[in-house]
């Protein structure tokens, strides 16, 4: 007796699906028919197999276009396996669609057909794939070396795609701080490659400036900024030894400190921040160890850095004391975006000049003979997944958003160069 369409499926349905899928794989009749077809019509059988594997390859291409790289990799590997590949792909599709019983039936049947009942039984109980979490899969993939970066986080993929210079020690923190703004922008205008990212960052910075920073500066333009702590910070760089053995530099720093004691408001303090960062531009480009050495050996650099750091603190404290509490967060995000922009601009110049023979391709070619050509496909897949543009797209898809405010892309008035340059420098937290 069959159940009506309105009734829930019988508890036997999963078992029937499993049995049906399993029998299609191990049925002796089907096996004999298949063997007979292959023997009598080998060319036709090979053509049919090629056609089915072509469809699997198309599924791989479609998955890659959608950004589903793990799924695409699975399809691509299945497409390379003669005769069994399409069946393995069908099982994987069943699992992804929630047809666990059918998928297990196909998988078990393939195993029985290849290894025999005893070999399959020796492997133990078939795991409940529906209960395996994404984290467990990623952790397992990482344990075997994270091939092709399929278990990498969004931040890891973005860093690999941008490939910042070694001296950029704050890159990881900057990427985390900027992630929310990048995701908000990506939701409105997808960032598909390095060039898109390079174009997006200035727009995001413009939005942070025009909506979160500039209004605060305009509202508090005439508020006084306490300058005595700035002057004291410079004087703290004048040691007793400098006074005794380097009177010239000691006098320069004292003169500098006296000038800093002059009264300033928010507008003039912001301009001074611009100038101070300009004086320290070459210092910012150094490795951390070289920066420390430069501070110890160059009194002028030490004076400007002390002035910049304390002026930034007084500048932000003034804004916050007058109710502009969001400016500090904007400073961190703007500075983070500025750091990313520097790295991406360097990367965009080499993104189109990738070496035609990557390591993945070389390894794939070297292993072609013993693997029957499968290593070539694996090498091509590895080469594709490690292209900067693909890494950026994958990374954007996996970034964990922090900011929830939508990014409204609309024409806006250009930011004045002087003001933009000032805030770009003034808002960098660790530079």
| pLDDT score at 426 | 40
Report the Cα 411 to chain-centroid distance in Å. Answer: 27
Where do we find the tokens 């300009």?
Answer: 278
| pLDDT score at 149 | 75
Average pLDDT of the chain, as a whole number:
73
Round to whole Å and give the CA distance between 312 and 266.
11
Confidence of residue 163 (pLDDT cuts 50, 70, 90): confident
Average the pLDDT over 346-363 and give the result: 65
Q: What is the pTM of this model?
A: 0.59
| pLDDT score at 131 | 43
- Considering 23-27, 138-142, 294-298, 299-303, the range whose residues carry the highest mean pLDDT is 299-303
Round to whole Å and give the CA distance between 390 and 150.
12
135-162 per-position pLDDT tens digit? 666 676 677 677 667 778 899 999 999 9
73-131 per-position pLDDT tens digit? 666 665 666 655 676 667 556 545 555 445 445 444 544 444 444 443 444 433 443 44
Report the Cα 182 to chain-centroid distance in Å. Answer: 10
| pLDDT score at 17 | 54
The string over 21-54, giving b where at least 16 C-beta atoms fall within 10 Å of a residue's C-beta and e elsewhere, is: bbeebbeeeeeeeeeeeeeeeeeeeeeebeebbe
- Considering 42-46, 106-110, 328-332, the range whose residues carry the highest mean pLDDT is 328-332
Name the region of 351 (left: φ>0; alpha: ψ -120 to 50; beta: rest). alpha
> Which of these ranges, 113-127, 305-319, 349-363, has the smallest mean pLDDT?
113-127
> Which of these ranges, 147-151, 258-262, 366-370, has the smallest mean pLDDT?
366-370
pLDDT of 302 over the 90 cut: yes
Confidence of residue 424 (pLDDT cuts 50, 70, 90): very low
Q: What angle do CA 279, 181, 141 make, to 5 degrees?
A: 110
Average the pLDDT over 31-43 and give the result: 46
pLDDT of 12 over the 50 cut: no
Round to whole Å and give the CA distance between 418 and 275.
10
Average the pLDDT over 305-333 and give the result: 93
Round to whole Å and give the CA distance between 330 and 335.
8
Confidence of residue 52 (pLDDT cuts 50, 70, 90): confident
In percent, the amount of the chain with pLDDT more than 90 equals 36
196-220 per-position pLDDT tens digit? 999 999 999 999 999 999 999 999 9
């Amino acid at each position: 007796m069959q159940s009506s369409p309105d009734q829930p499926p019988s508890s036997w349905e999963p078992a029937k699906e499993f049995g049906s899928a399993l029998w299609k794989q191990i049925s002796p009749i089907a096996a004999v028919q298949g063997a007979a077809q292959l023997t009598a019509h080998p060319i036709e059988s090979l053509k049919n197999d090629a056609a089915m594997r072509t469809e699997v390859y198309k599924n791989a291409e479609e998955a890659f276009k959608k950004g589903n790289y793990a799924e695409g990799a699975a399809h691509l590997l299945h497409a390379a396996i003669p005769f069994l590949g399409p069946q393995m792909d069908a099982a994987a599709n069943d699992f992804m669609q929630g047809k666990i019983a059918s998928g297990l039936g196909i998988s078990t049947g393939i195993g029985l057909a290849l290894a025999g009942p005893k070999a399959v039984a020796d492997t133990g109980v078939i795991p409940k794939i529906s209960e395996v979490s994404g984290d467990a899969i990623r952790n397992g993939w990482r344990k075997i070396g994270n091939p092709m970066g399929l278990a990498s986080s969004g931040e890891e993929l973005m860093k690999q795609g941008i490939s910042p210079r070694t001296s950029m020690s704050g890159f990881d923190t900057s990427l985390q701080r900027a992630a929310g703004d990048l995701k908000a922008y990506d939701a409105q205008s997808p960032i598909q490659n390095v060039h898109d990212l390079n174009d997006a960052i200035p727009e995001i910075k413009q939005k942070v400036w025009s909506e979160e920073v500039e209004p605060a500066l305009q509202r508090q333009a005439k508020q006084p900024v306490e300058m005595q702590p700035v002057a004291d910070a410079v004087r703290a760089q004048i040691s007793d030894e400098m006074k005794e053995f380097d009177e010239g530099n000691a006098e320069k720093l004292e003169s500098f400190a006296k000038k800093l004691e002059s009264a300033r408001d928010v507008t003039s303090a912001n301009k001074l921040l611009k100038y101070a960062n300009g004086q320290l531009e070459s210092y910012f480009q150094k490795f951390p160890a070289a920066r420390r050495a430069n501070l110890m050996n160059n009194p002028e650099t030490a004076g400007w850095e002390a002035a910049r750091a304390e002026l930034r603190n007084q500048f932000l404290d003034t804004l916050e004391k007058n109710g502009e509490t969001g400016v500090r967060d904007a400073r961190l995000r703007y500075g983070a975006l500025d750091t990313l922009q520097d790295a991406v601009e360097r990367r965009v110049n080499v993104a189109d000049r990738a070496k035609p023979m990557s390591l993945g391709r070389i390894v794939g070619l070297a292993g072609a003979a013993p693997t029957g050509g499968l290593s070539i496909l694996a090498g091509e897949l590895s080469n594709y997944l490690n292209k900067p543009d693909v890494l950026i797209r994958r990374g954007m898809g996996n970034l964990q958003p922090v900011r929830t405010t939508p990014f409204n892309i609309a024409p806006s008035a250009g930011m004045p160069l002087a003001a933009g340059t000032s805030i770009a420098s003034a808002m960098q937290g660790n530079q």
